[in-house]
Structure 1
Amino acid sequence: MTSLTSKESNQLSEETGLSKLSIQDWHKRFVQECPTGSISKERYINLYRSYYPRARNSDTYAQMLFTAFDDDRDQALNFREFLRVVAVSQGTDEKAKLELAYKAYNRNQSDANLTRKEIQNAVMAILNLVETKDDTDDNNDTDKRQTTIDWVMKRLGYEEKNEITKKEFIRRCKGDTNLYEFLAFHCVPKPNCSDGDLRGKEKYKITIKTGTEGKKLVLLKASGTDANVYLILHGEKANSGTIQLQNSQTHKDPFEHGHTDVFIQFLPSLGKIKGATLWHTGDKSQGWLVENLMITNEASNTTTYFPVQRWLDSDEYDKKTKVELIPNQPPGYDE
C-alpha cells in the first residue's frame, strides 16, 4: 500500500472534513497495522470483541456497522471506507451519525424504509453490546429489555405504522436527546494493533482529568497543555512500557482546561496496578494541572485511582514535569 498523493489527500479532506495532516497520520498508522490495505470482516468483529470484552455479545452490532461501512461490499474495509468511519465517529455532526446508524440498522439500504423488525433487531444488538456477561438473564432482565424495545418503538412512531423513512428517523432522534444517545452512531474501535497482538491482551481505559485552577503567575486560567503526554503503568505482573496518550475518545484537543480525556490501550495483563509514571515534554509555556488519573481494566472490571492534584510545570512549584504516582495518595510537591 503506497503513500497518499497530494491529490488523494485533498480529495479525502474534502470528503471527510479532516485535515490533510490528520489524514496522513491515519494513513501511516493504517499501513503499519493493516499492510494488506484493508480490514477484513473477521478482524473487524475481533476488534469489537477486544474493545468490549465484557459485552454479552458484540458480534451482531459489529456486523451491522461493518455492512454500513463496506460501500463496495467486498467484505473488507479499505482506507477510504475506514477514514469515513473515523470522520463520523470523531465529528459532532448529529445528522451524519444518525444517517450512518440508519444505514447500519437496515443493512446498508440507506434509501429503504426502516421496518419494525429491523429496529427491534438493532435495539437487541445495542443491548447485547452495552450489557455485560455478568448481567443475569432472568425474567426481570427480559422485562427490562422489552421495556427498552417498547420505549424505542414508541418514540420512533412505530405504534401507528410498520416502517419509517430515514427523514422521520433523523427528525425523531434529533428531537429526543435520550433516543439520540441510544441509537446514534458514536464511536468504533480503531485498529491500533494487529490480530496477533490482540491475543493475550486486555483492554485498559485510561481517564485523565485536567484541573481548572489558573497558574500562580498568570492571570488567565491556563491549566491545560498542548505538550506530548506519556504514561507508564507499573503492575504486579508487568509494566506497560511507555504509552503516548493521544487520540482521546472524548475530545479532539486533549488535556485542555477542565477536560476529562479517555484513552484506550490494549496491553498484556499487568496484574494489580501498583503505581504509574506520568510526564509531558512541554516547555515553560506548557505547564499542566492534573486533577486525577484512573486506570480501568475492563477485562477484570477493576479501577485504580490516582489523585494527582498537582502541576507538571517546569516554570513553577517544584518545576517538575514528571511524577511518580501511588494509588490513592496525592504526590504533593518536592520542597
Structure 2
Amino acid sequence: MGNKQNKTNSTELTPKHISLLKANTKYSEKEIREWHAGFLRDCPSGKLDKKKFVEVYKQFYPNGKADNFCKFAFDTFDANNDGSIDFEEFLLAISATSQGDIDDRLAVAFDMYDISDDGQIDQKELTKLLTAMYDLVGETDRKGDKDPKHRAQEIIAKLDVSGDKKLSKQEFIAGCKNDPVIRKLLVPNV
C-alpha cells in the first residue's frame, strides 16, 4: 500500500491482484491479505519452488514419501510453467481444491492425473498417481486389491463409459461423483 512504484515485484500485492483474486476465489480482501502474509513468511522471495513445496507436503505427511506426488501437484499448480509457484497460482490452487464445488475440485484432480496433458487419463498415468498417493500416505501393503496397476485397471474399467480404456474429464468427474469409494481413493479431500 502507498507504494507508487511503476514496476511490481513478486512480493507485492497490488489492488489489481486483489481484484483478480477476489473475482476468481471466494476469499475476501482480508483473507487474501492473510494468505499473502503467510505465503511471504514461508516464501520471502514471493516464489514457491519445488523443494519448498515438497517440504510443506512432508509436514502434512510425515510418515510418507511426498516427492512423487508433489511433482504432479507442483506441475499442475505452476500454471505458467516457470518452475515456481507465485502467490496468485498458489491462492487459485488452494481455492480450487478447497472452495470450489465438487465438479471444480474433481476437475483440478483430473488435470493433475492427466500427466500427458492429452485430455485423457490412461492406465499408466493412473498407476503412477496411485503409486505416488500410496507413497505420500506411507501405504506399503500393495498386494492384491491394493496393487496400483490392478487398482488403476479396475477404476478405468468401472468409470470408462466410452470403452476406449481411458478416462475423459467427464467420465472421471461423473465416476467419482457416483462412486464414493473411488472418489475417496482418488480425491480424498472432496
The TM-score normalised by the length of structure 2 is: 0.83
**CA–CA distance in structure 1, aligned partners of residues 50 and 39 of structure 2:** 16
Higher helix proportion, which one?
Answer: 2
Cα offset for 1:114? Answer: 1.6
What is the RMSD computed on CA atoms of the aligned residues?
2.4
Q: Which residue of 1 aligns with 2:124?
A: 117
Q: Which residue of 1 aligns with 2:68?
A: 60
Q: Unpaired segments of 5 or more residues in structure 2?
A: 1-9
Q: Which residue of 1 aligns with 2:166?
A: 163
**CA–CA distance in structure 1, aligned partners of residues 57 and 36 of structure 2:** 21
Residues 18-44 of structure 1: CA distance to partner in whole angstroms, max 9, x if unpaired?
A: 111110111111122211111101111
SS of equivalent residue, structure 2 residue 143: helix
Quickly say closer, same or farther: Cα 1:154–1:96, change in 2 above 3 A: same
**CA–CA distance in structure 1, aligned partners of residues 61 and 38 of structure 2:** 22
Residues 182-216 of structure 1: CA distance to partner in whole angstroms, max 9, x if unpaired?
A: 212639xxxxxxxxxxxxxxxxxxxxxxxxxxxxx
- Counterpart among 90, 108, 113 of residue 82 in structure 1: 90
| Conserved 8 A contact 1:113-1:165 | yes
Higher strand proportion, which one?
Answer: 1
Residues 91-145 of structure 1: CA distance to partner in whole angstroms, max 9, x if unpaired?
A: 1511111111111111272x6222221112112222222234xx4x5xxx42232
| Conserved 8 A contact 2:123-2:166 | yes
SS of equivalent residue, structure 1 residue 17: coil
SS of equivalent residue, structure 1 residue 47: helix
Identity %, equivalent residues: 26
Structure with the greater relative contact order (CA < 8 A, sep ≥ 6): 1 or 2?
A: 2
Q: Which residue of 1 aligns with 2:45?
A: 36
Quickly say closer, same or farther: Cα 1:30–1:100, change in 2 above 3 A: same
Quickly say closer, same or farther: Cα 1:2–1:53, change in 2 above 3 A: closer
User: How many residues are treated as equivalent by the alignment?
Assistant: 179
Residues 48-85 of structure 1: CA distance to partner in whole angstroms, max 9, x if unpaired?
A: 22321111x22111111111101111111000010012
**CA–CA distance in structure 2, aligned partners of residues 185 and 85 of structure 1:** 16
Cα offset for 1:150? Answer: 4.0
Q: Unpaired segments of 5 or more residues in structure 1?
A: 188-335
- Counterpart among 91, 100, 119 of residue 108 in structure 2: 100
SS of equivalent residue, structure 1 residue 77: strand
The TM-score normalised by the length of structure 1 is: 0.49
| Conserved 8 A contact 1:123-1:149 | yes
Q: Which structure has the larger Rg?
A: 1
- Counterpart among 70, 83, 98 of residue 78 in structure 2: 70
Q: Which residue of 1 aligns with 2:152?
A: 149
Q: Which residue of 2 aligns with 1:181?
A: 184
Quickly say closer, same or farther: Cα 1:32–1:108, change in 2 above 3 A: farther
Residue 107 of structure 1 aligns with an amino acid whose one-letter code is I
